[in-house]
Amino acid sequence: MASRGGEKRPEGTDGSDFRSRTVIADRYLASAKAKSRLKAFIFAHYLLHVITVSVMVLSKSASEKLNPLYPFVVSPWLLVWLGSSVPSGLAYVSLSRNRLSLIIIYIWGSIFLGFCPLVLNLFHLFNTRHDVNSIVMVLDVAPLPVVELFICIFGSIVQLGGFINAKTLRDAWMLRKDS
């Protein structure tokens, strides 16, 4: 603003030295990048939940002849995994105000309600002997264990990506709280 009043620019500068004064701290850059990535992983997480619930509904209508009293056909571990939507919602809320406590809840929730049920469902899928004659089909196209396997694999990828970005946010925000 020195040039407005007719004052001359200080000697020894050509006006291009502003870059050295407007340096953004690395933790803020990492926080902004991790926030946008975490939003994408939370969206993918909820999309997988919608797919899981639709598989539950479609496979239930196909298997009513097998056991009409049992309300769910998919593995009980996938039902526990659906509970991970609560920590995901808390993480999404925390992004607007940088709430560290909600990100920490998301990190622990993604471990206990995200990773653990998916891994236990994978063990259940691989340790159960499936009878070809009584297997439930989803939309008469894919067998239910195969659909559950894909949900577990993609769910694990989404949980891992969300966990890594939430941990990055936690580290950046804790550094900010310490300074």
Answer for the pair 155, 81: CB distance below 8 angstroms, yes or no.
yes
Q: What is the pLDDT of residue 90?
A: 93
Tens digit of pLDDT for each residue in 95-125? 988 899 999 999 999 999 999 999 998 888 8
pLDDT for 162 equals: 94
Mean pLDDT of 80-102: 91
User: Do residues 38 and 172 make contact, with C-beta atoms less than 8 angstroms apart?
Assistant: no
d(CA 63, CA 78): 18
Highest mean pLDDT among 3-7, 54-58, 149-153: 149-153
Burial of 61 (0-12, 13-18, 19+ CB in 10 A): exposed
Which residues, other chains included, contact 104 with Cβ-Cβ below 8 Å and sequence gap of 6+? 170
pLDDT higher for 41 or 52?
A: 41
In this prediction, residue 76 carries a pLDDT of 82
**Residues 15, 21, 26, CA angle at the centre, nearest 5°?**
140
Contact 116, 84 (CB under 8 A): no
Residue 172 tokens read as 């950046």
Q: Structure tokens of 122?
A: 């994978």
